[in-house]
Every structure is written in structure tokens, then in C-alpha cells.
Amino acid sequence: MLSHPIGMMIGYFSVAVMELIVFLSCFELVTRYKCWEEIKRGNLSVAMATGGKIFGICNVFRFCIQSQSTIYDSMIWSGIGFVLLLAAYFLFEFLTPVFSIDREIQNDNRAVGFIAMVLSISLSYVIGASIG
């Protein structure tokens, strides 16, 4: 099935969705707020930060596919990419000691939410470009 282009597409899509669910769940565990509850309440900052994470995770997986990695290699590379995105999240929090990123995003500080989104998206390109 994976030798046919449609089978490959379904395989990559299925793995990407599964990884997206798992990786977003991991992000949910490390934030001080509940992403989906905040989004339901209309918190645009959380939506931007979460959207950036979604884009970042999927973008890293896109680079895996583009490099013609096997599905299994793509899972490994995207897992490494996720760990780097997670490390960047912690580094962002650490490098801004004057306020808490999580608290500001939870309080709907849109400037912080926007920076978090752009950071996730930008670093996903750097991570993805190094996949080979």
C-alpha cells in the first residue's frame, strides 16, 4: 500500500495527524493554562500561540516528507523537531524573566501570543531546513 502514491499520502497524513495530537497534548501538559478551554472562551493569544505550535509541528513534518524520508524516518525526525520546538518554548520563557509567558498568554496579552506564534513558525523553518 505504501508503494502507491495515494497510499503514501494517506500514510503520511495519518502519521502527521497522530503526531499532531500527541505533540499538542505534550504542549498542553507544560503550559499553565488549558489551551482548548481558553480558546473556547475566546482567548486570541492562546489561539495564536496554539496555532503557531500546530503550524510549526506540521511544517517540520512537511520538511520530512519533502526530504523523501520514509514514514518511519519522518516520525523520528519530526519527533526530534518537536523536542526542539518544546525546548524553544522553555527557552522563550527563561529568556523573559520580567514576566511569565504562560501567564501573559493566559491573560490574553496578544503581543506575547503573537511573538509565541511567530517564534514557533520561524523555528520550524530552521528545524525543517536541517532535516536531510
The set of cell numbers assigned to 84 is: 526542539
Q: Quote the Cα angle for 68-7-84, to 5°.
A: 40
pLDDT(45) > 90: yes
DSSP assignment of 6-63 equals HHHHHHHHHHHHHHHHHHHHHHHHHSSS-HHHHHHTT-HHHHHHHHHHHHHHHHHHHH
Q: pLDDT category, 124, cuts 50, 70, 90?
A: very high
Q: Is the pLDDT of residue 102 over 80?
A: yes
Is residue 121 packed enough to be buried (19+ CB in 10 Å), middle (13-18) or exposed (0-12)?
A: middle
Residue 91 has pLDDT above 70, yes or no: yes
pLDDT, greater one: 60 or 69: 60
Least Cα distance to 80 among 123, 113, 116 occurs for 123
**pLDDT number for residue 114:** 97
pLDDT value of residue 69: 79
* 8 pLDDT tier (thresholds 50, 70, 90): confident
Evaluate whether 64 touches 74 at the Cβ level (below 8 Å): yes
Give the start-to-end residue ranges of the domains of the chain: 5-129
Mean pLDDT of 109-114: 96
DSSP category for residue 130: T
